[in-house]
Structure 1
Amino acid sequence: MPSLINEFPVATCTEALAHFSSRLRFETDCSDVYHSQQAGEGGYLLVDVRSPASFAAGHIPGAINIPSRAMTAERLAAFSPDTLFVVYCAGPHCNGVHRAAVRLSGLGYAVKEMIGGVTGWLDEGLTLVGEDVPHNASKSAVSCSC
């Protein structure tokens, strides 16, 4: 009996290269964002897509808050059409980040998901800023409300 790993044939190297290269066009991660921040590298706008209350309670340093439901052409008109939005939400259990990515790309903006969101940021041992950070420093306290 084959293992669950080998139940389906492995992709060819060409297919794997195309697949994983494509994922990197859509995603970045917490470590890359953190290291970009530490190096002073710009070229993107980090956006927390959770509710204003969740953002205020604790968010990633340098992020601005635009809840996914508030992403309208009027709200985003203040941003240059060539802005790269890096969006995040509470974590991998939430699809608010995907809703935001759909809205942004539908409005003509480049977008990448920061995989892991706040949960991933905390998993990396990184800290949040905000009103309730000492109380919001554990994954169980991460709220989405998106």
Structure 2
Amino acid sequence: MPLARKLPHVFAAFVILTFAGCTPEQAKHPEPFVTEYGLGPDKWATAWLLSRRIEPQAGLLIVEPGQPLPSGRLFDLPDSPIRRQGNRSGFEVALESYSLDDPALQKLADIVHDIEVNFWAHNKTAESAVVEHGYRELQLRHRRDAVAPDCYLTFFDSVYRALRNNLQAGVSLAFEDLHIDCSSPLSPASASLIAEVSISHLLTEIYRGKRVEFVDVREPGEFEESHIPGAHNITLRDLDSEAIQRLKGADYVVSYCVKDFRGFEMAKAIKQAGIQQSVILKPYGIKGWVSSGLPTAGSKALSNKEAQAQLSTHIASMASRAL
């Protein structure tokens, strides 16, 4: 059975967000959009698109992970029609599904794709790095796992407004355009501290004989294409007592995704299950691993044997230079 994961105490089973101009009668129709609370920008960009641009009158239900889902139109959940599909982000799927023709929204789709999907190639747009920096800064300022839903929506309000205005003016997006300060940040005590451990330190620990277990939290299709050699593939919904038992006794349990938005969620869940050595990578995720020149295994990378051999060679070389 999946392990229970608790959100900060200010969240009930779900949070209902309604918007200006929505009367009680309108709130009954159409069905609200429904998803679980999470940390990734694709989730919140999609929530913003659906509830701000597509059907503001529908409302938005954010459910605590593991809790029953209320009636509504599901998104960013397994088997829901609007979710990441292959190399398309959930935001891109939503944009195509509703046939929205808006240059600023298309620009935002490129940005979300760069942040959440496109980690092998160069960014489609220079604004992607600016938005990712702003998003991470927002999470760090308000505690990564305790950002209120309306704070994320306000952030993407500012992103869209800046993209629209800057496209009209022919200028680039600036970090200052995205700085927002949510009026009611959640209690810092509600957030579990998850250590960020440098890749070089982890490799040194492996050389010293420490047991380091990598947990890839992405979907099986993503994992099969490319992953850290020897990693376990465990999604958040599949984290159960059996999986925890396999990880117990490790000196480090390193959860990761592409850039560690989901990786952080997994690391927190593993720590709450009793494994105190639960950490994430720095630089973040498999993108940080690849940018450090380290090998991956999978159908679009090396065989597991080749990747393990290259990693062992890299670790030995790094250790000899340090001596």
Q: Do both share a fold (TM > 0.5)? A: yes
CA RMSD of aligned residues (A): 2.5
Q: Does 1:103 align with 2:272?
A: no
| TM value normalised by structure 1 | 0.62
Q: Does 1:52 align with 2:220?
A: yes
- What is the alpha-carbon distance in structure 1 between the residues aligned to residue 255 and residue 224 of structure 2? 16
Query: 1:85 is paired with a residue of what secondary structure?
Result: strand
- What is the alpha-carbon distance in structure 2 between the residues aligned to residue 70 and residue 55 of structure 1? 14
Answer 1 or 2: higher relative contact order, Cα 8 Å, separation at least 6: 1
> Are residues 40 and 46 of structure 1, via their aligned partners in 2, closer, same or farther at CA, if it must alter by over 3 Å?
farther
- What is the alpha-carbon distance in structure 1 between the residues aligned to residue 209 and residue 222 of structure 2? 26
> Are residues 121 and 78 of structure 1, via their aligned partners in 2, closer, same or farther at CA, if it must alter by over 3 Å?
closer
Identity among equivalent pairs (%): 26
What displacement does 1:119 show? 0.6
Which of 123, 138, 142 aligns to 2:291? It is: 123
| TM value normalised by structure 2 | 0.30
> Are residues 79 and 133 of structure 1, via their aligned partners in 2, closer, same or farther at CA, if it must alter by over 3 Å?
closer
Q: Does 1:28 align with 2:194?
A: no
Is there any run of 5+ residues in structure 1 with no aligned partner, and where?
A: 1-22, 135-146
Q: Which amino acid aligns with 1:105?
A: K
- What is the alpha-carbon distance in structure 2 between the residues aligned to residue 78 and residue 131 of structure 1? 25
**Equivalent runs, 1:1-146 vs 2, <5 Å:** 26-37=195-206, 39=207, 41-80=209-248, 82-83=249-250, 84-91=252-259, 94-110=260-276, 111-115=278-282, 116-133=284-301
What displacement does 1:40 show? 5.8
What displacement does 1:58 show? 0.3
Q: Which amino acid aligns with 1:30?
A: I
- What is the alpha-carbon distance in structure 2 between the residues aligned to residue 60 and residue 75 of structure 1? 18
Aligned length: 108
- What is the alpha-carbon distance in structure 2 between the residues aligned to residue 75 and residue 122 of structure 1? 26
CA contact (8 A) 1:49 1:66 kept: yes
Query: 2:258 is paired with a residue of what secondary structure?
Result: coil
> Are residues 28 and 128 of structure 1, via their aligned partners in 2, closer, same or farther at CA, if it must alter by over 3 Å?
same
Is there any run of 5+ residues in structure 2 with no aligned partner, and where?
A: 1-192, 303-323
What displacement does 1:87 show? 1.2
CA shift digits 1:12-33 (9 cap, x unpaired): xxxxxxxxxxx8x712122333
Flag the structure with higher helix content: 2
State the 4+ residue runs in structure 1 displaced beyond 4 angstroms. none
